[in-house]
Structure 1
């Protein structure tokens, strides 16, 4: 049975049982504890935590998940994947243990012809929590599982929580016996390789307290409502139903391995064919599995808007993609491989995720560009490695130090196994113990930092009664002023009945015209006014997507619960904010028109008169591209397009071609903002102008990089744009007057002046260098004879830059022919002392080393240096001691004896 069919049967089983089908959320959610969605229940956390009331009593989903804590272990075992699909069913106060167990059993063992998965019930085992007699009895008495196939485990294995204070409870896991060829008899307690876990049923019935680890926390008491969270591993069930040894042999990953075999001309499973092709633990098999796993994960992350970077999610993606490239290279690939591998993943995953096809060009571009960049890194890393090899050979070492291997890995992105392979080719070993020790230290620091950040979720219980019973009615799409009743006032994290002048409070109204910050648009500003008091609204935030919370500075009188207030939005603020938000949509549309579909939104922020727009793109924009983007956006302004908003279903919005923001979790009903028909159509809950002409002129200020693969455009709209253009015009007028040239001729005139200035600067530099060369000659003429060695040790004149010191030393030492000579020059560069020393070949033959000379000088000027016998350099911090340092160099040479050098 194909994986896509398993998914279909799961969803149909539960929708027929009355569950609401919930589409998979993006892998990127706004959660302080998660880089990626790592479990099927994550999108439902607000319901389990009591932050929101679920819109359904029961639900089912197949959630995309990514877990990356043990990337280095991927491929070493055949059970671990970074990306996986978790099929789940959820109950919020509806059915509990018996219902969850019955649903799972009926699907797993149901006849294939009737929509079931057809597993042999005699091969299924279950585990329950040690103290959960209720679940054990249901399994034995109601389902009919023999008592000997029901095993009990403790909290570390069969008690679930999110790792932070919140709901928790015992769980029951279903295992499939793969047969004696896979391990020992005795059930999952004895061998969890033979008995593979396929389903976990979590019975949320308690609340946990603080603590770390799986069993080091206090159980505070029962939850008000008992909930069910279950998860079936789609990939693991596919292994069983496709009768393959592991997930890498299933229909989703095996084709990727086959594509990698063709690209590398290596064979998967060849080293252990006796146990079944692909079952081997040979290092080559591990690399094939890394390629298959990481290709799928990488594609799904790029699909959801992640781009390679140096931190956070971007770093994880970059690491995955680079492990693919490195593994392919070590298997024998010599050219680029990413496009072929990713195209194979596209073919296997698109039936379940049709959005892959819609975003393929962007996905392909991101992956291919990262491969090209990393191949350059490999090239530069190889050169750096060769320098270490040369140093090792010069010193007689036979090993690459662990800190060097770690630096190559951590700083330069050079993988350790490639370092080891190249070291072996050079006849060297790598200090693996030292490398892994440094890696362990790094992981320990990361884990400690991660644990420190697990602070739990902010307490939003104070808002819960309002979220459940009094969600805010937002009237701001059509109104700038409205009346609302005060439902609650919060001061210092407590509900109060009234608050007076000078207080900063949170005010909850039953309805409001104020826009709460969302979608990159800042919240409205304005005023609340009642019979007894008045306050300035300085911010508005949403809680649970249903409640508008106004942050108010009370400027007069007092506000009280129960009174009616007039809520007035600042008209100028709203007008300019609408201009900026609609302008953002035009910039987005213009970007895609100029750069193509790979330029996808990665974030935005707009406030009155100003917008910034982040987008994924592989390189810097040219001046012509920026001008074209600005022209396209302003052409849409000039066209006076009507701005329409359409309330529709998510499916219909996508069918219309509306663009969605990656990482946003949309509900079933969405709002589409359309500007000029097909010109711009996006899912958006923001405030917009009525016609595009109301945006006013758009002035693009420029673009910049905000991370690897992410660019940012900034622009003004409306009066801010006009004022910017007026200021620019004033500057142009001033230049025209100063240069006595019409504005049209300014570029040519400025270019000519710039050329003249560069020529003059070059001439001045030539004169300066000639003067310095003359001074060097004077220094040479005054060379001292110290132990039959010509010594030139001097402080260079004021104004000699640090970058020139080395060149002057090289010039001076070259003027000595056969006579042994040492030159040391030092300069003053602010509070620094750059210094360089050189010894010619005759001096080096006598045993003089420039590195020792700079060491002597550096010790006197508060610095240090080093280098080779012929040339060395350093820097100090005490310029007032230069003369002392020069004297120390003279003493150093005078103290040496020719026979001792």
Structure 2
């Protein structure tokens, strides 16, 4: 029986022997991927490679990837397979190999490495994928065991890379089934378990749904470690594997219960073990518990673990001891569990302590409710009260039911579900209403009392104002001194607060004896403006008069980019059509980013036309004017909303001559000529029907062109040419390179032919079979295969074993011709040969390839081929 850790290592080493680079798991925080909160699949870290946004640094890779998914959080513990945290084993090809290799390797790994009985295995394919069907059959799968499934088609989204997929299922036996006559692949019961999915990324789907073959086809596979462990260890659920049992047994011991004695306690044990694993790994990757984003996901899972532990009777902190079990069993594969131990334990202990205190308050409230019910002669707690305990104090309804049962009482579950549904609908309506700033109760109360802060920044960038509120770490102070970071409320402000995609102003707040640098400005839900600042010198006092000054260079740079954004939208609508709508934006002193609706990439000519219209509008030096009017009047005049803000009845409309008319609350230049040159840097897709343009204006555009000029001059100097001659000179060099590459190819082919002829003169006989075993020169596996094919064509019958060193590793190819010669099997031969060099591999009876780690052992491996063949022939 293989342990979970052994299964992980076996998988990675197997594919390493197939030429894959073993990579450590990526973080659970997706890198540069705003579309995902957490890493949810093994392929997520490789999305840039599959989409060719980044050129892959290696052709193939294999990983055991940490993943977290929470859509089915409530199902954890209730089924055999649902988890929040899990590990996905995968092998990936970035345009290197495809179905012909991926399918046989998968089958070989399942049947020859894991040795799962062939008679228990099934394969599903996309019904139209005849290639996959044929390859599965060649690999050894009987045709009656291959099932078509129309859902076996993977896509990254409505548009982009996609392709058919294929799955391997294992039949766990009649006893695990539902007993229905039609029980088969796809049945909802536990009999047929999917253990591996192979995605053949071979098409690109455009907005019209048309599939075009990708120039470079990719392989993306995934096999859940927890699932394959349950199969290999012969247990009914993932929770019964050694990946979970040490955690479950530890928690059960703390609770004084036995696993599998009681379904109710079993559910709680499964939830706790699953959630503690997830929390430990999320913390190890630097995710901090908080009330938004991935931090909120972490907090929710952690609290759920504590709540279910309480159901088991665990009233004291236990997370640290449970984490120690996880650290002991997983740290060898995931060293971050050791490296970040202090960070993990600090957050575990603090969160658990705070939540236990909250639970204690909830318990007291429930006891008061029980007393009230007893006085009234009632035995049923209302669903509204039960939901209040759940929402406010984190009480799962199961915990409430259990505590009430001790008093002979119950919960009105019908009204509980109704209250939960009502809350869900309200939360959905308010989900986009994220608070602009994190407020302590004191801050929130102060902001409420002050109300909306008058904004005077349209007219001036400096003014005299008064400090109305001064807070340090959420606490109101009478004064704040040097080195402290403070939140300041002013009587009125010229500082623009972050809004509508435009970043906030920065600047200074001063008195004759003190100065603070304003770092960020935000607007609270009451309209109060929060100035986050660092006191650099002196002391500030509440109520004192201050001079406030916006950073003028940053304000002007931001205004140039903001006004350029308005011109950009109008130009896009002119070139592409009226369907173009703003779908998001960012305006900073350094650049602008504009997201818009459009269904296909823009052509170079289209981008040039847009850029030309913008710069023509700049040169016309049109006045930029802002007027206030009713929302109704603004809509009637044809003004469009640029940043998707929520508008009141009175709105601000920004006009740029007749070229642009937008609703906008941001800051702008006074005439388009102040924008200066505008240069589009990039245009690309960010989702189905969504595009993104990034551009620079004014001094930033000048800096961009200076950078390009410097690069051109560097290249010109290297080529010893005038800047205007670079294109012609590079074109000439490329022609020379192609000629040289063609000449090298011809020479390599000639050398290979000469080497083949030399090898044919060294044929030896082993037990009457012609054998060529030699170390040759081949730059890669493909060249080695071609050489073996040349020899086989000339030799007609016999065994060929070739080895070559490439990039510090060993490649092997073996052929047996004709197939089945004297019972010899190429895959078995190469497995033993490669083992001598610290590698492994396999393949078909007539052709196989493998890899090795130690080039110094290549000669020994080749010399031992005759003896290995004699051993096989005697069997």
Take 1:748 and 1:490, find their aligned partners in 2: how far apart are those partners?
A: 64
Which residue pairs with 1:786 in the alignment?
766
Which residue pairs with 2:512 in the alignment?
531
Q: Do the aligned partners of 2:443 and 2:475 also contact (CA within 8 Å) in 1? A: no
User: 1:436-490: CA deviations, max 9, x gaps?
Assistant: 8669999999999996465998655333233323221111112111122112222
Q: Which moved more, 1:544-553 or 1:593-602?
A: 593-602
2:800 to 822, 825, 830: 822
SS in 1 for 2:670: coil
2:752 to 772, 780, 792: 772
User: 1:743-779: CA deviations, max 9, x gaps?
Assistant: 5554344323322322222222322332233334333
SS in 2 for 1:701: strand
Take 1:856 and 1:709, find their aligned partners in 2: how far apart are those partners?
A: 54
Take 1:650 and 1:836, find their aligned partners in 2: how far apart are those partners?
A: 75
1:852 lines up with 2:828 in the alignment: yes
How big is the shift at 1:434?
Answer: 5.9
2:591 to 603, 610, 616: 610
Which residue pairs with 2:869 in the alignment?
893
SS in 2 for 1:485: strand
SS in 2 for 1:486: strand
1:473 to 420, 445, 454: 454
Q: Do the aligned partners of 2:455 and 2:494 also contact (CA within 8 Å) in 1? A: yes
Take 2:669 and 2:591, find their aligned partners in 1: how far apart are those partners?
A: 15
Take 1:789 and 1:649, find their aligned partners in 2: how far apart are those partners?
A: 95
Question: Quick one: structure 1 residues 822 and 495, their matched pair in 2 at CA, closer, same or farther if it must change by over 3 Å?
Answer: same
1:601 lines up with 2:582 in the alignment: yes
Take 2:36 and 2:817, find their aligned partners in 1: how far apart are those partners?
A: 62
2:742 to 762, 772, 783: 762
Question: Quick one: structure 1 residues 646 and 893, their matched pair in 2 at CA, closer, same or farther if it must change by over 3 Å?
Answer: farther
- Pairwise mapping of residues 715-864 of structure 1 onto structure 2 (< 5 A)? 715-733=695-713, 744=724, 746-797=726-777, 800-817=779-796, 819-830=797-808, 832-841=809-818, 844-864=820-840
Take 2:665 and 2:607, find their aligned partners in 1: how far apart are those partners?
A: 28
- Pairwise mapping of residues 483-498 of structure 1 onto structure 2 (< 5 A)? 483-498=464-479
Take 1:487 and 1:652, find their aligned partners in 2: how far apart are those partners?
A: 37
SS in 1 for 2:823: coil
- Pairwise mapping of residues 408-447 of structure 1 onto structure 2 (< 5 A)? 430-432=185-187, 433=189
How big is the shift at 1:696?
Answer: 0.5
Question: Quick one: structure 1 residues 395 and 557, their matched pair in 2 at CA, closer, same or farther if it must change by over 3 Å?
Answer: same
Which residue pairs with 1:398 in the alignment?
144
Take 2:191 and 2:736, find their aligned partners in 1: how far apart are those partners?
A: 55
Q: Do the aligned partners of 1:695 and 1:717 also contact (CA within 8 Å) in 2? A: yes
RMSD: 4.4
- Pairwise mapping of residues 516-527 of structure 1 onto structure 2 (< 5 A)? 516-527=497-508
User: 1:155-190: CA deviations, max 9, x gaps?
Assistant: xxxxxxxx9xxxxxxxxxxxxxxxxxxxxxxxxxxx
SS in 2 for 1:827: strand
Q: Do the aligned partners of 1:824 and 1:838 also contact (CA within 8 Å) in 2? A: no
1:555 lines up with 2:536 in the alignment: yes
Q: Do the aligned partners of 2:824 and 2:873 also contact (CA within 8 Å) in 1? A: no
2:681 to 701, 705, 712: 701
Aligned residues: 519
Q: Do the aligned partners of 2:716 and 2:723 also contact (CA within 8 Å) in 1? A: yes
Q: Do the aligned partners of 2:788 and 2:800 also contact (CA within 8 Å) in 1? A: no
SS in 2 for 1:897: helix
Take 1:822 and 1:653, find their aligned partners in 2: how far apart are those partners?
A: 81
How big is the shift at 1:415?
Answer: 9.9
Q: Do the aligned partners of 2:643 and 2:664 also contact (CA within 8 Å) in 1? A: no
Question: Quick one: structure 1 residues 660 and 800, their matched pair in 2 at CA, closer, same or farther if it must change by over 3 Å?
Answer: same
Take 2:597 and 2:829, find their aligned partners in 1: how far apart are those partners?
A: 52
TM-score (structure 1 length as normaliser): 0.51
How big is the shift at 1:724?
Answer: 2.1
Which residue pairs with 1:387 in the alignment?
132
TM-score (structure 2 length as normaliser): 0.52
SS in 1 for 2:770: strand
Which residue pairs with 2:366 in the alignment?
none
Q: Do the aligned partners of 2:484 and 2:534 also contact (CA within 8 Å) in 1? A: yes
Q: Do the aligned partners of 2:583 and 2:644 also contact (CA within 8 Å) in 1? A: no
Take 2:697 and 2:642, find their aligned partners in 1: how far apart are those partners?
A: 22
Take 1:598 and 1:867, find their aligned partners in 2: how far apart are those partners?
A: 55
How big is the shift at 1:33?
Answer: 11
Question: Quick one: structure 1 residues 533 and 435, their matched pair in 2 at CA, closer, same or farther if it must change by over 3 Å?
Answer: farther
1:620 lines up with 2:601 in the alignment: yes
How big is the shift at 1:822?
Answer: 2.2
Take 1:540 and 1:436, find their aligned partners in 2: how far apart are those partners?
A: 57
User: 1:603-631: CA deviations, max 9, x gaps?
Assistant: 22222142222334333333323322222
